[in-house]
Chain A
Amino acid sequence: MPVLEFKNVSKSFGDIQAVTNISFSIEDGEFVFITGPSGAGKTTLMKLLLRQYRPSEGEIRFGDWQVHKAKKSKIPHIRQEIGAVFQDFKLLHEKTIRENAEIALAIAKVPSSEWRQRVDHILDLVGLTERADLFPSQLSGGELQRAALARSLVVNPKIVFADEPTGNLDWETAEGVMNLLLKINKEGKTVIVTTHHKTIVKEFGKRVIEMKKGEIVKDSMHSDHKEKTKKMKTKK
């Protein structure tokens, strides 16, 4: 059963069609790139998944949730299971990196006795242990992206959805962030990355869903890829 499924999803804002008849499914443990130029509808997909937008048509299933018809009171619970990494990081500027991660744990109602250990582990994973007590304004772009990733991972979400994580980064830093996402994926986490960075997509050779003008124009998932996924699952 897929961990995430979009079925004939459309979203329009008045006369403007943001996404049209989008269908795809992502299996547990997959690494998927969603690519396309600006305005293709990549970020809209993330917003639909986070239920910032309600789809005009179609169904979105995530785990046991039917996101498209979830009640308002259930939306925070859906979001808690998605490790969202935003292009503009959305870190809390008045909190340190450690506190940012702790807030995510508090939201997920993780007992405070576990916070230190979990935050230390995740900061170590993203290589920010020495930056734990700094504020976001004191970090570089790459470090901010890793901090945002740490915050999303610390609650052990079902999937990681990173929106343009390499958007504002130089090649070297972008590669570092992508390697980190790959490392997380290798540990069994489903990772979805939206990007317009074609070189990165080519370099990592993963499944690619290509979008253009709000529609999926290509999904690289083929039998070969399916086999890979099956193999990965049997390994687990």
Chain B
Amino acid sequence: MKLHLKTSFDNIKRAPFQAMAAISVLAITFFVTTLTAMVVYSSEQLLQFFESRPQVIAFLTDDADTLEVENLQVQLTGDPRVNTVKFVTKEDALAIYKEATSENPLLGELVSPSIFPASLEISPMDLTFAQELLTELKEEPIVESVGFTASIGGESAVTEVIERLKTISNYIRIAGIIAVTVLSITSFLVLMVVIGMRILMKKEEIESLSLIGATPGFIRAPLIFEAVQYAFWGVFIGWLMASVLIMYASPTLFSYFGEIPVLPSETSDFFTLFAIFFAAELIVGLLIALIGSFISVSRSLTMK
């Protein structure tokens, strides 16, 4: 093991430009992979944020008593189509109104809680359940009227926003998958070429080793270690560059998206996410290196 590692280090030292080429291509691949993974994560968060907003509101009649409201709330909470149910009192409604009109305090002063109906804000598990829930809630005696969340523009606006986000998210995912696949294939081929060149350079040495009894595994080992080192450094550099870029941009992203958690706000969660990206990319990088070098070495040894 130690001997193979030393041989692989020596190989890299003796042909630094080949090593740099392999590491650069891998670094670009994993730079793009990290960014794509981050964009996919953020778009998922964005979608989840909008989907988990209370989309259905049941405005309650003034004479609805607490027990009736609680019964309806329990009934909805047990419904598998419902994610969350929140009871908003008249006072809460006034507070929301005042917050929404905080730029013009006069509007807030002119109203009293009595003009706002109490309501139940319901967030469905999936937006497709919203219409069914809406229809069923209309039948409830304590429900005066129903509607979609006004804050994002009513029924059509909600579905449109979410559909658009889903489409964008899908496009991002597809584009990301294509970019990462193309770059991974390129990395794979570059690794194969670099290892192939190495074998060509070491043809005599490989023949000598074979003649003194080296097994194919013994001959392969330093070349595979070499590819693994390229993969490790390629993944690390690519991941580090992308992570630094995202960290640099994160204050702007936080202020632009406000309460939408496109990036984890807790520092520990933030770094855990990057650690997960690194671990996943390292596994992919090592697989590329192992498979690429194995095929390359096996081909060369068979051809010999």
Given A94-B14, A102-B3, the answer on whether A107 and B208 have CB atoms closer than 8 Å is no
A88 to chain B, nearest CB (A): 9
CA of A56 to CA of B164 in the docked complex: distance in angstroms? 73
Q: Which of A16-24, A78-86, A183-191, A213-221 is near enough to bind chain B?
A: A78-86
CA of A80 to CA of B211 in the docked complex: distance in angstroms? 9
| Interface size band for B | 10 to 19
CA of A157 to CA of B79 in the docked complex: distance in angstroms? 79
Q: Which residues of B contact A52 (CB under 8 A)?
A: 211
Contact among A86, A91, A94, A107 for B213, CB-based, below 8 A: A107
Contact indicator B211/A86 (Cβ below 8 Å) = yes
B219 to chain A, nearest CB (A): 10
A/B pair count, beta carbons within 8 Å: 54
Contact indicator A107/B212 (Cβ below 8 Å) = yes
- Please give the number of chain A residues whose Cβ is less than 8 angstroms from any Cβ of chain B in the complex: 25
Given A94-B10, A106-B3, the answer on whether A80 and B209 have CB atoms closer than 8 Å is no
Of residues 184 through 221 on chain B, the ones whose CB sits less than 8 Å from some CB of chain A are 204-205, 207-216, 218
Q: Show the binding face of A for B, using Cβ within 8 Å.
A: 50, 52, 76-82, 84, 86, 90-94, 102-104, 106-108, 112, 151-152
CA of A106 to CA of B114 in the docked complex: distance in angstroms? 89
Given A94-B205, A106-B3, A106-B218, the answer on whether A79 and B212 have CB atoms closer than 8 Å is yes
Q: Show the binding face of B for A, using Cβ within 8 Å.
A: 2-3, 10, 14, 204-205, 207-216, 218
Q: Which residues of B contact A151 (CB under 8 A)?
A: 212
Q: A-B pairs with the 8 shortest C-beta distances?
A: A80-B213, A79-B213, A90-B208, A76-B215, A76-B213, A107-B214, A106-B3, A107-B213
Contact indicator A76/B207 (Cβ below 8 Å) = no
Q: Which residues of A contact B213 (CB under 8 A)?
A: 76-82, 104, 107-108
Q: Name which residue of chain A comes closest to B6, CB basis.
A: A99
